Chain A
Amino acid sequence: MNKKKISLFFMYLIMFIVTVYYLIPILVLISTSLKPQGQVLSRTWQWIPETITLDNYKYILQQYPYLKWTLNSLIVTGGTVLLTLSISLPAGYAFARLKMRRKNLLFSLVLLTIMIPFFAYTPQLYLLITKLGLKNTYLGLIVPMSTSGVSIFLFRQFIEQLPPELEEAAVLDGCSNWGIFSKIILPLTKPAITTSVIFTAVKSWNNLMWPLIASSDNAVKTLPVGLSVNVFQVETGLNNQPPYGIVMAAALLSIILPILLFIFLQKYFIQGIATTGLK
Chain B
Amino acid sequence: MLKKYGLLVSLIVLSLVLTSCATSTEPVETVDTPTESEAVAEVPAEKTTIVFWNGVGAPENVVLTELVKEYNETNQDNVYVEEVILDWSTLYSKILLDFETGTPPDIMTIQQSGLYQNVDLGVLADLTNLMPEYGFVKEDFIESAWNGSFIGDQQYAIPFDLHPLALYYNVDLFKDAGLDPENPPATMDEFLEAAQKLTVDTNEDGNIDQYGFGLAYSGGIPFRTWMSLLWQHEGEDILNESKTEAAFNTEAGLESLEFLQDLVYEYKVVPEQEQSPDDDFMKGIVAMMISGPWSQFDFNTVDGLEYATAPLPVFYDQPAAWADSHMLALPNTNDDVRMAAAMSFASFLSDNSLTWTQKAGHLPVKLSVLESDEFKALEKSQAFAVTLPDAHYYPSIKNESLVFGRDSNSPFVVLVESTLLNSMTPKDALAEVEIMVNELLAQ
A residues within 8 Å of B by Cβ? 37-38, 41-43, 63, 86, 90, 123, 126-127, 130-135, 137, 139, 143, 176, 178-179, 182, 212-213, 216-218, 228-233, 235-241, 243
Contacts and interface: CB of A to CB of B under 8 A. Distances in A.
Contacts of B14: 86
A239 B324 CA distance: 12
Interface string B301-333: 111100000000000000000000000000000
Contacts of B98: 130
B29 interface: yes
B279 A41 contact: yes
Interface of B: 3-4, 6-7, 10, 14, 18, 21-23, 25-26, 29, 57-62, 84-90, 93-94, 97-98, 100-101, 103, 209, 216, 218-220, 276, 278-279, 282-285, 291-292, 294-295, 297-298, 301-304, 406
A239 B61 contact: no
Contacts of A143: 18
Nearest to A37: B301
Contacts of B7: 90, 178
A263 B62 CA distance: 37
B282 A240 contact: no
Given A237-B406, A239-B294, A229 B87 contact: yes
B89 A235 contact: yes
A241 B278 contact: yes
A237 B220 contact: yes
A255 to B, nearest CB: 20
A41 B304 contact: no
B85 A137 contact: no
B21 A240 contact: no
A235 B406 CA distance: 10
A61 to B, nearest CB: 15
Contacts of A135: 29, 103
B204 to A, nearest CB: 15
B244 to A, nearest CB: 28
A43 B298 CA distance: 17
A216 B294 contact: no
Given A133-B25, A135-B103, A137-B25, A86 B10 contact: yes
29 contacts: A37-B301, A37-B302, A43-B209, A43-B283, A63-B62, A86-B14, A126-B97, A130-B97, A130-B101, A131-B101, A132-B22, A133-B26, A133-B29, A134-B25, A135-B103, A137-B25, A139-B21, A143-B18, A178-B4, A182-B6, A212-B90, A213-B90, A213-B93, A216-B94, A229-B90, A230-B85, A231-B58, A237-B218, A238-B219
B90 A216 contact: yes
A232 B97 CA distance: 24
Contacts of B26: 133
A134 B94 contact: no
A241 B97 contact: no
Contact of B304 (A38, A123, A212): A38
Contacts of B57: 233, 238-240
Nearest to A234: B87
A41 B302 contact: yes
Nearest to A241: B278
Contacts of B60: 240
Nearest to B295: A239
Nearest to B163: A239
A90 B6 CA distance: 12
A231 B57 CA distance: 9
A43 B284 contact: yes
A237 B22 contact: no
Given A123-B97, A216-B94, A241-B278, A41 B58 contact: no
Contacts of B86: 216, 229
Contacts of A176: 3-4
B31 to A, nearest CB: 11
Contacts of B216: 237
A133 B329 CA distance: 26
Nearest to B101: A130
Contacts of A231: 58-59
A177 to B, nearest CB: 9
A233 B61 CA distance: 11
A217 B100 CA distance: 18
Contacts of A182: 3, 6
B4 A233 contact: no
A130 B103 contact: yes
A232 B59 contact: yes
Given A38-B302, A133-B26, A176-B3, 4 more contacts: A133-B25, A143-B18, A238-B88, A239-B291
Nearest to A64: B62
A134 B276 CA distance: 40
Given A43-B284, A232-B59, A237-B406, A217 B84 contact: yes
B279 A236 contact: no
B282 A41 contact: yes
A86 B86 CA distance: 34
Name which of A126, A179, A230 has the most chain B CB atoms within 10 A of its CB: A230
A169 B93 CA distance: 58
A126 B291 CA distance: 36
Contacts of B22: 132-134, 139
